[in-house]
Amino acid sequence: MSRTIFFEVEILDSKTKEQLCFLDKVEPHSSIGDIKSLFHKSYPKWYPARQALRLDPKNKALRDDDILQNLPAGTSVTMYFRDLGPQLGWTMVFLAEYIGPLLIYLLFYVRVPYIYNHKYTFTSSTHPVVSLACACHSFHYIKRLFETIFVHRFSHGTMPLRAIVKNCVYYWGFAAWLAYYINHPLYTPPSYGEIQVNYALIIFVLCEAGNFSIHWSLNSLKCEGSKCRRFPHPSKNPFTWLFFFVSCPNYTYEVGAWVGLSIMTQCVPVALFTFVGFIQMTIWAKGKHQIYVREFKNYPNLRMPILPFIL
């Protein structure tokens, strides 16, 4: 009959090296997540999502699914704790980021008092493209909220509260800036009139449909923990055929939708928001592309991160 060897885990403050907790007789199959839960019992204010545990203060934080007996340490393990600060789950993060732009834009669209001259308070623009732009902008963020609640599958990861504030300032601030100009009483419609607006609307609708199709496709992937057993492939849905050429077509379609809205409104703030968003999404796409290439030896060589054959 085999005898179980238990572990001893000492947790120190990463800055002061003061001992915070000593765990005796820890099961060897315990995960870092289990250890965080045990540590939480001693320090209720530091819930697991706030904790970062390291084997060395300068090393990367251990993952929650790392197993104690698989760590490069003996049966007496010393870990260093760092408080990550208040955290929010990803669902709450995205709800906070997307509800703001939706409501802020509508405030400018109905021209609430103290935004424009008092004689324009609660009046409507005479240009149909203004109402169309409001409908498109609202649809975009309503779709995002719908996907956040019903489509996306989030890990148990969290985001620091300070980062959420920064993201909300970005999304909410840009929404107010572009809404101010599009709904301004002196706004002038696009140079090429209805033709420009109609073609831009087609681009916007197709890209929004494509973006949703990709999100739905990614939702259907079978995953174990934080790693997927397979990478995404094109399906019978034509919108997913972009997977033949790019690793993150959801970002490709996202940028395309904002390009459509930029053309539709012919508004500089919208174009700037599109450009900044493209830069950020390119960074995310490159990171995801590198993960796919590293984890799957048979990953298609033809695929680029975000733009077919280019980037």
Q: Domains in the chain, ordered, with CATH?
A: 9-85 (3.10.20.90), 86-143+156-185 (no CATH), 190-311 (no CATH)
Burial annotation 50-73 (CB, 10 A radius, 16+ → b, else e): bbbbbbeeeeeebebeeebeeeee
Give the integer Cα–Cα distance in Å for 136 and 249.
Answer: 20
The string of pLDDT tens digits covering residues 224-281 is: 444 556 788 899 999 999 999 999 999 999 999 999 999 999 999 999 999 999 999 9
Sign of CA dihedral 42, 44, 45, 50: positive
User: How far lies 148's CA from each of 46, 156, 215, in Å?
Assistant: 27, 14, 10
User: Could you tell me if 211 and 281 are in contact, meaning their C-beta atoms sit under 8 angstroms apart?
Assistant: no
Give residue 156's pLDDT: 59
pTM for the full predicted model:
0.82
Q: Does the pLDDT at position 1 exceed 90?
A: no
User: Could you tell me if 145 and 215 are in contact, meaning their C-beta atoms sit under 8 angstroms apart?
Assistant: no
Q: What is the 3-state secondary structure (H, E, C) of 194-207?
A: HHHHHHHHHHHHHH
The string of pLDDT tens digits covering residues 184-196 is: 999 999 999 999 9
**Mean pLDDT across 72-101:** 87
Could you tell me the two tokens for 133?
């732009």
